[in-house]
Copies of this chain bind each other. A is one copy, B any other.
Amino acid sequence: MKLIQAIIRPERLEAVQRELRSVLDEQEHYRMTVQTCEGHGRQEGRVEIVRGRESRPRLVEKLQVTIALNDAYVEPAVQAILRGARTGQVGDGKIFVTPLEDCIRIRTGERGGKAV
């Protein structure tokens, strides 16, 4: 099992969701968790003006999408996120894949692969 954490542009969430739905089994009920975050990298924020003083924030709003998956689904999911999130411009974000040792569904107590 793997845990995928992807940092994406907020406005690409819908597209990513659409792509994920098509590769994951549960259709409407594909599972994921989303968090707000701010990212620092090559992309800069848009200029803001306060009474004539300018500032260009370095931290830019992003979303982090977390998905736990069985190994077979990892590659399709990564490709789906790439399709949904890519604009080709600086700031598209990253996908991190980390090992997941165990996964428990709280409602039923099921563990491991079938709980994902």
Contacts and interface: CB of A to CB of B under 8 A. Distances in A.
Interface in A79-101: 81-82, 85-101
Interface string A64-90: 101010000000001001100111111
Given A40-B32, A40-B34, A82-B109, A98 B95 contact: no
A38 interface: yes
A1 to B, nearest CB: 9
Given A2-B101, A32-B40, A34-B38, 20 more contacts: A6-B106, A7-B33, A31-B39, A31-B40, A35-B64, A68-B94, A78-B102, A81-B106, A82-B109, A86-B106, A86-B109, A87-B107, A89-B107, A91-B107, A95-B102, A97-B101, A97-B103, A98-B99, A98-B101, A99-B99
